[in-house]
Amino acid sequence: MSQLDSSPASQRLNKYLALALGVSRRQADALIEQGKVTINGAVAPLGARVSPGDDVRCSGHPVTAQQFVYLLLHKPTGYVCSRRRQGDTPTIYELLPTTHHQLKPVGRLDKDSSGLLLLTNDGDFAFRMTHPSFKKQKRYLVTLDTPLQPLHRQMISDFGVNLPDGRSQLTLTRQSDGDDTRWVVEMSEGRNRQIRRTFSALGYTVTKLHRTDFGNYSLGDISRGTFREVNIS
Protein backbone atom coordinates (compact mmCIF):
# COMPACT_ATOMS: atom_id res chain seq x y z
CA MET A 1 0.00 0.00 0.00
CA SER A 2 1.27 3.51 -0.76
CA GLN A 3 3.01 5.39 2.06
CA LEU A 4 0.82 8.36 1.19
CA ASP A 5 -2.41 6.33 1.26
CA SER A 6 -5.21 8.32 2.88
CA SER A 7 -7.80 5.59 3.46
CA PRO A 8 -9.82 5.85 6.69
CA ALA A 9 -7.88 2.92 8.19
CA SER A 10 -4.52 4.69 7.81
CA GLN A 11 -2.97 7.28 10.09
CA ARG A 12 -0.11 9.74 9.84
CA LEU A 13 3.27 8.19 10.51
CA ASN A 14 4.33 10.85 13.01
CA LYS A 15 1.21 10.18 15.09
CA TYR A 16 1.88 6.42 14.90
CA LEU A 17 5.48 6.92 16.09
CA ALA A 18 4.39 9.27 18.87
CA LEU A 19 2.00 6.60 20.13
CA ALA A 20 4.55 3.80 19.92
CA LEU A 21 7.66 5.61 21.20
CA GLY A 22 6.15 8.07 23.68
CA VAL A 23 7.63 11.09 21.88
CA SER A 24 6.09 14.27 20.50
CA ARG A 25 5.04 14.50 16.87
CA ARG A 26 7.80 17.04 16.36
CA GLN A 27 10.35 14.51 17.62
CA ALA A 28 8.77 11.86 15.41
CA ASP A 29 9.13 14.14 12.38
CA ALA A 30 12.81 14.57 13.24
CA LEU A 31 13.30 10.80 13.19
CA ILE A 32 11.59 10.62 9.80
CA GLU A 33 13.71 13.49 8.40
CA GLN A 34 16.86 11.71 9.56
CA GLY A 35 15.88 8.68 7.47
CA LYS A 36 15.63 6.41 10.49
CA VAL A 37 12.07 5.26 9.80
CA THR A 38 11.03 2.68 7.21
CA ILE A 39 7.64 1.36 6.12
CA ASN A 40 7.72 -2.10 4.53
CA GLY A 41 11.45 -1.74 3.93
CA ALA A 42 11.34 1.68 2.23
CA VAL A 43 12.60 4.88 3.87
CA ALA A 44 9.52 6.87 4.88
CA PRO A 45 9.04 10.49 3.75
CA LEU A 46 7.52 13.24 5.85
CA GLY A 47 3.74 13.08 5.62
CA ALA A 48 3.71 9.32 5.14
CA ARG A 49 0.77 7.32 6.42
CA VAL A 50 0.65 3.89 8.04
CA SER A 51 -2.01 1.26 7.36
CA PRO A 52 -2.87 -1.88 9.35
CA GLY A 53 -0.37 -4.64 8.56
CA ASP A 54 2.47 -2.29 7.58
CA ASP A 55 5.94 -3.14 8.89
CA VAL A 56 7.18 0.04 10.56
CA ARG A 57 10.75 0.22 11.86
CA CYS A 58 12.89 2.87 13.54
CA SER A 59 16.67 2.41 13.28
CA GLY A 60 15.93 -1.15 12.19
CA HIS A 61 13.80 -2.01 15.23
CA PRO A 62 10.11 -2.92 14.82
CA VAL A 63 7.72 -0.24 16.04
CA THR A 64 4.31 -1.33 17.28
CA ALA A 65 1.66 1.28 17.99
CA GLN A 66 0.04 1.38 21.38
CA GLN A 67 -2.82 3.30 22.89
CA PHE A 68 -2.23 6.56 24.69
CA VAL A 69 -2.70 6.27 28.45
CA TYR A 70 -3.28 9.14 30.88
CA LEU A 71 -3.11 8.73 34.66
CA LEU A 72 -3.84 11.04 37.57
CA LEU A 73 -1.72 9.85 40.51
CA HIS A 74 -2.05 11.03 44.10
CA LYS A 75 1.64 11.09 44.94
CA PRO A 76 2.46 10.75 48.63
CA THR A 77 5.46 12.45 50.19
CA GLY A 78 8.57 10.30 50.38
CA TYR A 79 8.50 9.14 46.75
CA VAL A 80 10.73 10.36 43.91
CA CYS A 81 9.66 10.89 40.28
CA SER A 82 12.35 8.67 38.77
CA ARG A 83 12.65 5.07 37.65
CA ARG A 84 15.37 4.18 40.13
CA ARG A 85 15.34 4.42 43.89
CA GLN A 86 17.52 7.11 45.42
CA GLY A 87 19.07 5.14 48.25
CA ASP A 88 16.16 3.75 50.24
CA THR A 89 13.68 6.27 48.82
CA PRO A 90 10.99 4.52 46.73
CA THR A 91 9.89 5.72 43.30
CA ILE A 92 6.41 6.56 42.07
CA TYR A 93 6.55 3.45 39.86
CA GLU A 94 6.27 1.30 42.97
CA LEU A 95 2.73 2.67 43.26
CA LEU A 96 1.83 1.54 39.72
CA PRO A 97 1.27 -1.87 38.10
CA THR A 98 4.03 -2.97 35.73
CA THR A 99 1.73 -2.35 32.77
CA HIS A 100 2.08 1.39 33.47
CA HIS A 101 5.83 1.51 34.06
CA GLN A 102 6.45 2.83 30.53
CA LEU A 103 4.54 6.03 31.35
CA LYS A 104 6.44 9.24 32.04
CA PRO A 105 5.56 11.92 34.58
CA VAL A 106 4.35 15.23 33.18
CA GLY A 107 6.48 17.65 35.16
CA ARG A 108 7.72 16.71 38.62
CA LEU A 109 6.98 16.79 42.32
CA ASP A 110 10.00 16.52 44.59
CA LYS A 111 10.32 13.84 47.26
CA ASP A 112 8.90 16.05 50.02
CA SER A 113 5.90 17.20 47.97
CA SER A 114 2.57 15.43 47.46
CA GLY A 115 -0.53 15.66 45.34
CA LEU A 116 -1.53 15.50 41.71
CA LEU A 117 0.96 14.01 39.26
CA LEU A 118 0.06 13.30 35.63
CA LEU A 119 1.66 10.38 33.78
CA THR A 120 1.34 9.49 30.11
CA ASN A 121 2.99 7.98 27.04
CA ASP A 122 1.65 10.85 24.90
CA GLY A 123 4.58 13.15 24.16
CA ASP A 124 2.43 15.85 22.57
CA PHE A 125 0.18 16.00 25.62
CA ALA A 126 3.19 16.25 27.95
CA PHE A 127 4.60 19.07 25.81
CA ARG A 128 1.33 21.02 25.86
CA MET A 129 1.05 20.65 29.63
CA THR A 130 4.60 21.71 30.48
CA HIS A 131 5.88 24.16 27.88
CA PRO A 132 5.75 27.75 29.25
CA SER A 133 4.02 29.04 26.10
CA PHE A 134 0.83 27.13 27.01
CA LYS A 135 0.66 28.72 30.50
CA LYS A 136 -1.04 25.78 32.22
CA GLN A 137 -2.16 26.89 35.67
CA LYS A 138 -1.14 24.82 38.68
CA ARG A 139 -2.57 25.10 42.18
CA TYR A 140 -0.83 24.13 45.43
CA LEU A 141 -1.59 24.12 49.14
CA VAL A 142 1.52 25.44 50.89
CA THR A 143 2.36 25.62 54.59
CA LEU A 144 5.21 27.81 55.88
CA ASP A 145 7.24 27.48 59.06
CA THR A 146 6.39 31.05 60.13
CA PRO A 147 3.64 33.53 59.18
CA LEU A 148 4.18 35.32 55.88
CA GLN A 149 4.76 39.03 56.40
CA PRO A 150 2.49 41.43 54.45
CA LEU A 151 5.46 43.05 52.70
CA HIS A 152 6.75 39.66 51.55
CA ARG A 153 3.30 38.66 50.32
CA GLN A 154 3.16 41.84 48.24
CA MET A 155 6.64 41.21 46.87
CA ILE A 156 5.77 37.67 45.76
CA SER A 157 2.38 38.56 44.29
CA ASP A 158 2.99 41.99 42.76
CA PHE A 159 6.68 42.20 41.88
CA GLY A 160 8.13 38.72 42.07
CA VAL A 161 11.28 37.47 43.75
CA ASN A 162 14.57 37.33 41.86
CA LEU A 163 15.99 33.82 41.70
CA PRO A 164 19.17 32.65 39.92
CA ASP A 165 17.06 31.40 36.99
CA GLY A 166 14.83 34.48 36.76
CA ARG A 167 12.01 36.31 38.50
CA SER A 168 9.39 34.22 40.29
CA GLN A 169 5.88 35.66 40.68
CA LEU A 170 3.15 33.66 42.41
CA THR A 171 -0.53 34.26 43.18
CA LEU A 172 -1.24 33.88 46.90
CA THR A 173 -4.53 33.42 48.75
CA ARG A 174 -4.96 32.43 52.42
CA GLN A 175 -6.36 28.96 52.96
CA SER A 176 -8.17 30.29 56.04
CA ASP A 177 -8.85 33.85 57.15
CA GLY A 178 -6.35 35.01 59.74
CA ASP A 179 -3.88 32.17 59.10
CA ASP A 180 -0.71 33.54 57.50
CA THR A 181 1.18 30.25 57.48
CA ARG A 182 -1.09 28.31 55.08
CA TRP A 183 -1.52 29.56 51.54
CA VAL A 184 -3.07 28.61 48.21
CA VAL A 185 -0.37 29.20 45.59
CA GLU A 186 -1.15 29.42 41.88
CA MET A 187 1.38 29.61 39.08
CA SER A 188 1.75 28.84 35.38
CA GLU A 189 5.48 28.19 35.40
CA GLY A 190 7.16 24.97 36.42
CA ARG A 191 10.79 25.63 37.27
CA ASN A 192 12.59 23.21 39.55
CA ARG A 193 11.49 23.64 43.19
CA GLN A 194 10.31 27.15 42.28
CA ILE A 195 7.83 27.59 45.14
CA ARG A 196 10.27 26.36 47.78
CA ARG A 197 13.07 28.55 46.43
CA THR A 198 10.83 31.63 46.22
CA PHE A 199 9.88 31.47 49.89
CA SER A 200 13.40 30.45 50.92
CA ALA A 201 14.80 33.59 49.27
CA LEU A 202 12.75 35.59 51.79
CA GLY A 203 13.71 33.48 54.81
CA TYR A 204 10.83 30.99 54.96
CA THR A 205 10.80 27.21 54.86
CA VAL A 206 7.99 25.36 53.10
CA THR A 207 6.96 22.57 55.46
CA LYS A 208 4.17 21.20 53.24
CA LEU A 209 3.58 21.44 49.50
CA HIS A 210 0.58 19.65 47.99
CA ARG A 211 -0.58 20.06 44.38
CA THR A 212 -4.34 19.89 43.83
CA ASP A 213 -4.74 21.06 40.23
CA PHE A 214 -2.76 21.02 36.99
CA GLY A 215 -4.42 22.70 34.03
CA ASN A 216 -7.91 21.21 33.65
CA TYR A 217 -7.14 18.24 35.90
CA SER A 218 -7.87 18.05 39.62
CA LEU A 219 -6.91 15.57 42.31
CA GLY A 220 -10.50 15.28 43.48
CA ASP A 221 -11.18 12.27 45.67
CA ILE A 222 -8.27 10.11 44.48
CA SER A 223 -6.85 8.44 47.59
CA ARG A 224 -3.24 8.90 48.61
CA GLY A 225 -0.97 6.48 46.74
CA THR A 226 -3.61 5.51 44.16
CA PHE A 227 -4.33 6.62 40.60
CA ARG A 228 -7.17 7.06 38.15
CA GLU A 229 -7.04 6.61 34.40
CA VAL A 230 -8.72 9.36 32.41
CA ASN A 231 -9.71 9.94 28.79
CA ILE A 232 -8.39 12.96 26.93
CA SER A 233 -10.78 14.30 24.33
Spell out the long-range contacts of 88-97 with Cβ–Cβ below 8 A and sequence spacing 24 or more.
92/117, 92/119, 95/225, 95/226, 95/227, 96/71, 96/227
- Rounded to whole angstroms, how far apart are CA atoms 195 and 211? 11
Residue whose C-alpha is closest to residue 101's, from 80, 121, 116: 121
Q: Pick the catalytic residue: 5, 29, 54, 110?
A: 110
CA distances from 98 to 82, 101, 168 (A): 15, 5, 38
Q: Which residues pair with 232 in a beta bridge?
A: none
Q: Are 155 and 202 in contact (CB under 8 A)?
A: yes
| Environment class of 1 (CB within 10 Å of its CB; exposed 0-12, middle 13-18, buried 19+) | middle
Name the CA dihedral angle for 211, 215, 217, 220, rounded to a multiple of 10 degrees.
40
The verdict on whether 124 is a catalytic residue reads no
Name the residues annotated as catalytic.
Answer: 110
